[in-house]
């Protein structure tokens, strides 16, 4: 299959598909962190019509996720950036590609577009971590968990405390210039599940 992984600079999802023999390419405005020759550094909108069989998109979530939308009423410039982000998301959803998956945190696209087909967690795929991720799917099945973990610890309120969380339930990552990059990375277990489950019977 010819697979486009849009808005990815890490190569994690791209390489999961390539390991199975697929012609997978990543695309992002940033250069590839693994220096792969199978990365296109450009606006993904310019390559949507190149005859892809499948696409996995990771559009930026800064102006779409619920955790930041409360700022829109106080900052009109931010509200306009949300509108730009919505239009970009929809351009990916309407791309001329028969099989599409779009991932994003919980946010406004559940109402601006439609509810996600599925919400997954890293701990469903073998990672001691919590990061609720919505999947909007076209022509693809829901992902089946591959290795469901149980939390080793509990917070004081009785909720699970995963490895990427403080005892109070916050994300462990401290503020830094790279924080957004680190938080945007796809967990390898999820990437492997995408490649394994979304290409069955495609060869």
pLDDT band, residue 202 (cuts 50/70/90): low
Shortest CA distance to 7 belongs to which of 56, 80, 65, 64? 56
Confidence class for position 203, pLDDT limits 50, 70, 90 = very low
Can you tell me the distance from the alpha carbon of 82 to that of 194, in angstroms, rounded to the nearest whole number?
28
Condensed to tens digits (0 to 9), the pLDDT of residues 28-82 reads 999 999 999 999 999 999 999 999 999 999 998 775 665 555 555 566 676 777 7
Q: Strands 23-28, 39-41: parallel, antiparallel or unpaired by DSSP?
A: parallel
Q: Please give the structure tokens belonging to residue 154.
A: 């509990």
Q: Hey, what are 152's tokens? A: 């080793």
pTM of the prediction?
Answer: 0.88
pLDDT at 110: 86
Average pLDDT over the chain, rounded to an integer:
88
Q: Give the rounded percent of residues in the chain with a pLDDT score beyond 90.
A: 65
The answer to whether residues 120 and 141 touch, using CB atoms and an 8 Å cutoff, is no
Q: Phi and psi for 70 in degrees, rounded to 5?
A: -65, -20
Residues above pLDDT 70, as percent of the chain: 83
Superfamily the domain 2-197 falls into: Vaccinia Virus protein VP39 (3.40.50.150)
Closest CA to 116 of 97, 133, 130, 99: 133
Measure the CA–CA gap between 181 and 203, rounded to whole angstroms.
33
pLDDT recorded at residue 30: 95
- Residue 157, pLDDT > 80, answer yes
Question: pLDDT value at position 54?
Answer: 98
Q: Which two tokens stand for residue 143?
A: 């992902």
Specify the pLDDT at position 18.
98
Give the mean pLDDT of 162-179.
71
- Asked if 136 and 117 touch (Cβ cutoff 8 Å), the reply is yes
> Which has more confidence, 169 or 90?
90
| CA-to-CA dists, residue 98 to 48, 92, 132, angstroms | 11, 12, 26
């Amino acid at each position: 299959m010819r697979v486009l992984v849009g808005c990815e600079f890490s190569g994690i999802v791209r390489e999961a598909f390539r390991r199975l023999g697929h012609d997978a390419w990543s695309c992002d405005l940033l250069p590839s962190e693994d220096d792969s020759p199978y990365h296109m550094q450009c606006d993904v909108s310019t390559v949507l019509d190149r005859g892809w069989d499948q696409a996995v998109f990771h559009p930026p979530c800064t102006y779409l996720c619920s955790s930041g939308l409360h700022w829109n009423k106080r900052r009109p410039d931010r509200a306009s950036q949300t509108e730009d982000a919505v239009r970009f998301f929809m351009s990916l959803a309407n791309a001329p590609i028969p099989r599409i998956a779009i991932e994003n945190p919980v946010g406004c696209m559940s109402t601006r577009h439609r509810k996600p087909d599925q919400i997954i967690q890293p701990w469903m795929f073998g990672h001691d971590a919590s990061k609720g991720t919505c999947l909007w799917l076209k022509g693809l099945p829901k992902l089946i968990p591959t290795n469901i973990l149980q939390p080793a610890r509990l917070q004081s309120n009785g909720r699970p405390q995963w490895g990427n969380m403080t005892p109070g339930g916050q994300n462990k990552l401290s503020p830094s210039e790279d924080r957004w990059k680190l938080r945007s990375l796809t967990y390898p277990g999820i990437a492997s599940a995408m490649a394994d489950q979304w290409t069955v019977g495609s060869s």
